């Protein structure tokens, strides 16, 4: 194998390891669509195709990210999120954080409404972040640090159809 193939295999195995260790999901990556594309001054996103042709985005940052940041990154990249995989496969991670943050702000209240809790869920720490993508409309964009604007990185279309 040449050095390029070795680097690609190394990146694939590193990405699979992050998914397994941080999110408790065992994904078999078929191919990388974008590898560590810049999405802000300090964050990078890898977009890849896994089993059953499902597209995922793995966001990693040097600085802490919250769920709201990741939602914004995915939207600005030109993708639509289907599901934000919680850390450590804890399905109630965002909800528990939202309830806790709400009670920190309003300690006298027993519980908040779903709308009130929804905002506080977006403040949950979420780095690295793994997002299952449902739609890409023709291109995926990247953040250009020099020009400080979003630019097309690759022409790509995708629509995830769920059969029930």
Q: What is the CA radius of gyration of the chain?
A: 17
In a domain, 95, yes or no: no
In a domain, 108, yes or no: no
Tally Cβ neighbours within 10 Å of residue 132.
Answer: 16
Measure the CA–CA gap between 59 and 47, rounded to whole angstroms: 9
pLDDT attached to residue 162: 73
- The pLDDT profile of the chain, 164 residues, written as one tens digit per residue, is 577 677 777 888 889 999 999 999 999 999 999 999 999 989 999 999 998 899 999 999 999 999 999 999 999 999 999 999 999 999 999 999 999 999 998 888 877 788 888 999 999 999 999 999 999 999 999 999 888 999 999 999 999 887 66
Number of domains in the chain: 1
In a domain, 146, yes or no: yes
pLDDT attached to residue 19: 93
In a domain, 119, yes or no: no
In a domain, 62, yes or no: yes
Alpha helix (H) ranges present in 77-129? 93-105, 114-121
In a domain, 26, yes or no: yes
pLDDT attached to residue 164: 66
- C-alpha distances (whole Å) from 136 to each of 54, 74, 120, 163 are 12, 10, 28, 19
Alpha helix (H) ranges present in 24-92? 67-76
pLDDT attached to residue 108: 85
pLDDT attached to residue 70: 97
Q: In angstroms, how far is CA 140 from the centroid of its own chain?
A: 14
Alpha helix (H) ranges present in the chain? 3-23, 67-76, 93-105, 114-121
pLDDT attached to residue 1: 55
In a domain, 102, yes or no: no
In a domain, 58, yes or no: yes
Residue-range definition of the domain harbouring residue 24: 3-87+126-159
């Amino acid at each position: 194998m040449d050095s390029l193939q070795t680097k690609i295999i190394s990146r694939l195995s590193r990405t699979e390891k992050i998914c397994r260790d941080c999110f408790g999901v065992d994904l078999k990556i078929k191919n990388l669509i974008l590898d560590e594309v810049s999405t802000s001054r300090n964050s990078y996103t890898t977009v890849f195709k896994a089993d059953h042709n499902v597209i995922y985005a793995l966001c990693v940052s040097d600085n802490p990210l919250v769920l709201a940041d990741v939602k914004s990154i995915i939207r600005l990249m030109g993708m639509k999120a289907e599901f934000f995989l919680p850390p450590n496969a804890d399905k109630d991670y965002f909800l528990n954080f939202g309830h806790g943050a709400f009670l920190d702000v309003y300690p006298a209240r027993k519980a908040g409404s779903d709308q009130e809790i929804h905002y506080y869920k977006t403040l949950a720490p979420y780095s690295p972040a793994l997002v299952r993508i449902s739609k890409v409309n023709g291109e995926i964009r990247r953040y250009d640090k020099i020009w400080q604007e979003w630019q097309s990185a690759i022409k790509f279309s995708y629509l995830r159809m769920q059969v029930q």
